[in-house]
Amino acid sequence: MRIFDPHIHMTSRTTDDYRAMYEAGVRALVEPSFWLGQPRTSPASFFDYFDALLGWEPFRASQYGIAHHCTLALNPKEANDPRCTPVLDALPRYLEKDGVVAVGEIGYDSMTPAEDHALAAQLQLAADHQLPALVHTPHRDKLAGLHRTIDVVRESNLPPEFVLLDHLNETTVEAAADSGCWAGFSIYPDTKMDEDRMVAILQNHGTEKMIVNSAADWGRSDPLKTRKVADAMLKAGFTEDDVDQVLWRNPVAFYGQSGRLQLDVAAPDPLHEGNSILRGGE
Amino acid sequence: MLKSREELDAELGGAARAWLDEALAEAAHDAEAAHDAPRPGASPYASPPWELRYAAAGRRCGPEHADSVRSLLLVAARATLPSVTRLYEQGTAAERRAVLLTLHRLDLGPTALPLVEDALRANDTRLVAAAVGPYAADHLDPHAWRHAVLKCLFTEVPVAAIARLGERARGDAELARMLGDFAAERTAAGRTVPEDLRTVLGHARRTPTGPTTPGAAPGGVARTAPAGADAHRATPTPAPAAPAPTEES
Ligand SMILES: [Zn+2]
């Protein structure tokens, strides 16, 4: 079984997680830039973070046989902080980098005018750089937030098939699917969304344009949720091919629109002696 | 290995070749202009167009040619210290690598050493390997150069990546001592002594003018290390199972 986790914050995870993910079948992932828990006070600390998502973290992932890509953006929360908004001016340079497969996470947190501006500006940046966009839907006032998000996407220059609406659930899946965007579901160990509810959604809405992620980060979360959804799908009667579509082909098709996915990473050392990535001496 | 323009022209498809022509022309044009003068009214984050092409080189010409194309761009732009520093500091690991691989082809003297020193502090072995090329051989002082050699051994970067290794290591008694101490430490920890260590030690034990003097190792090498190294050659311990060869941080 091959798994692509399209939304996971590896910066917050340990090497044990990388190992366990590889063993569970994860061969590729996308790490969106996001809020670090502690507010940042200047653009420079964003740049160091972006640089890590383009430098150190892909190297770390490659040692465990996992292809690492990222999405970069000013996140919705910090879009409200005037100390951070100059990040928007530096994004054009970052969005040209090879490892960047989308603009994200963008979207709404509290639905403020500053968030309106950052969302619209960054959808335009995605269009300018021919990149898809990963759009977070708010945790509070979710359905209203989703409708407002879809309106802003419609007004943008980005076609809906270039947009992944994330953190959906039973109450928002319908509107998201009708919008023509891709539908993302974050599976958490608590009540937000679990693997059995995910399977029920797939039974009701099909497997097309459906994307499942662990969204694991520094909070209570589980980097193996993608595999657990795959197992729950098989148990519920879905075929191996259905599982491959949801957990590999769909995210590859979505982020592949960037033209920048590189999925050929050598297996890690214990499995594959003489791995050239570890040696680094080409 | 970095490829020449002619080699690339032979290997690239039409669209990639056309892109490369334009990119090199832009870089050359920038070399004519006084491109390090601040542009009035420009955003502090704005970059000259060829520097954006530098980022996209792998997508346009294929990842296997990215180093070569980026290197050609730097040479065509006659990249200055501010420019290489910006490209390095703002670059992905692959973009940083290409800067490091090209430093000796630019007219920078020793001024770009801070970039090499930065890369040698990294744990990303791709950067460490690129940092020990001809530019480091030309400009690193003896202390920093010895630490670079040791870093390669620690992080399992093949010493074949170190430019002019034999020439710089030859007769370096201090390097021989450091290698001996490293071997002793590995032996004490029950770990294998890397084969590459013996290679470098062989160079360091040569007299500055002549071949290896058997049994007359300079410095303190003879103390414990060669014995430990030889003992471990007879009974090799298995390679560590962990896939991460990076140094402890
Ligand atoms: Zn997230």
What pLDDT score does B210 carry? 53
- The pLDDT tens digits of the residues spanning A235-280 come to 999 999 999 999 999 999 999 999 999 998 877 765 444 333 333 3
What pLDDT score does A269 carry? 61
- In this complex, is the C-beta atom of B98 within 8 Å of any C-beta atom belonging to chain A? no
What pLDDT score does B34 carry? 57
Report the gap between the CA of B74 and the closest CA in chain A (Å): 17
What pLDDT score does B72 carry? 97
- In this complex, is the C-beta atom of B124 within 8 Å of any C-beta atom belonging to chain A? yes
B93 with A96: Cβ contact below 8 A = no
Decide if B130 is inside a domain.
Answer: no
Most B CBs within 10 Å, among A19, A59, A70, A95, to test the B interface: A59
Give the lowest-confidence range in A173-182, A228-237, B189-198, B239-248: B239-248
Report the gap between the CA of A211 and the closest CA in chain B (Å): 26
Decide if B135 is inside a domain.
Answer: no
Question: Phi first, then psi: what are they for A90, rounded to 5°?
Answer: -90, -15
What pLDDT score does B240 carry? 36
Search chain A and give the residue with CA nearest B67: A282
Of B43, B90, B161, the CB nearest to A281: B161
Decide if B28 is inside a domain.
Answer: no
What pTM was estimated for this model as a whole? 0.83
Would you list the domain boundaries of chain A?
A: 3-256
Mean pLDDT to the nearest integer, B126-148: 97
What pLDDT score does B38 carry? 56
* Number of structural domains found in chain B: 1
Decide if B132 is inside a domain.
Answer: no
Decide if B168 is inside a domain.
Answer: yes
pLDDT band at B208 (very low <50, low <70, confident <90, very high): confident
Decide if B201 is inside a domain.
Answer: yes
- In this complex, is the C-beta atom of B181 within 8 Å of any C-beta atom belonging to chain A? no
Q: Is the ipTM of this complex over 0.90?
A: no
Q: Domain span at residue B183?
A: 164-249
Q: Is A213 helix (H, G, I), strand (E, B) or coil?
A: strand
- The pLDDT tens digits of the residues spanning B215-232 come to 444 443 433 344 434 434
Of A86, A93, A281, the CB nearest to B129: A281
Distance (Å, whole) CA A32 – CA B58: 22
Question: Phi first, then psi: what are they for B153, rounded to 5°?
Answer: -65, -40
Mean pLDDT to the nearest integer, A38-67: 96
Q: Is-contact A133 A103, C-beta < 8 A? A: yes
Mean pLDDT to the nearest integer, B192-202: 93
**pLDDT higher at B190 or A267:** B190
Which numeric CATH code is attached to A3-256? 3.20.20.140
Q: Please, which contacts does A78-81 make with residues 24 or more away whose CB atoms are closer than 8 Å?
A: A78/A35, A78/A39, A78/A40, A79/A109, A79/A114, A79/A115, A79/A117, A79/A118, A79/A119, A80/A109, A80/A110, A80/A112, A80/A114, A80/A115, A81/A39, A81/A40
